[in-house]
């Protein structure tokens, strides 16, 4: 065999070497992207789990508050609280009617308002 044949048989072909380098770079890039997106999915899954736990806590709190509101607004509960604070319920038609002329502004906020729009002062 001639020397040229032996040299060309054992040499690296530039085209083949370039192809191997390109394939290696593409495979490494795709592997890096795969790892990046897997990490992103992992972070999103952890966030989702945390938010679902928070939602479950809020639902438990809402359930407890709904039961509490329901128990506090029953007629028996309202009567018990009225008795506890010594409050009597009176029909509206039995309440005295205040005369508008006898009402006097004694609140500081009402006195500080100044005259009425028509120029009149408050009684």
How confident is the model over 20-39, as pLDDT tens digits?
Answer: 999 999 999 999 999 999 99
Block residue for tokens 């192809």: 19
pLDDT band at 104 (very low <50, low <70, confident <90, very high): low
Is the residue at 105 inside a domain? no
Domain that holds residue 77: 14-96
| Residue pLDDT, tens place only, 40-96 | 999 999 999 999 999 999 999 999 999 999 888 888 888 888 889 988 888 888 888
Question: pTM for this structure?
Answer: 0.47
Is the residue at 60 inside a domain? yes
Residue partners of 77: CB distance under 8 A and separation at least 6: 71
- Domains: count for the chain: 1
Block residue for tokens 């790892």: 35
Greatest Cα pair distance in the chain: 132
């Amino acid at each position: 065999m001639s020397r040229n044949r032996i040299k060309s048989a054992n040499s690296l072909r530039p085209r083949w070497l370039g192809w191997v380098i390109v394939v290696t770079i593409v495979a490494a890039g795709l592997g890096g992207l795969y790892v990046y997106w897997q990490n992103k999915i992992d972070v999103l899954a952890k966030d989702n789990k945390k938010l679902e736990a928070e939602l479950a806590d809020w639902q438990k709190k809402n359930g407890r508050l709904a039961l509490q509101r329901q128990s506090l607004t029953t007629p028996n509960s309202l009567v018990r609280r009225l008795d506890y604070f010594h409050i009597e319920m009176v029909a509206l038609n039995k309440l005295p009617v205040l005369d508008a002329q006898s009402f006097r502004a004694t609140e500081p906020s009402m006195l500080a308002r100044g005259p009425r729009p028509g120029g009149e002062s408050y009684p």
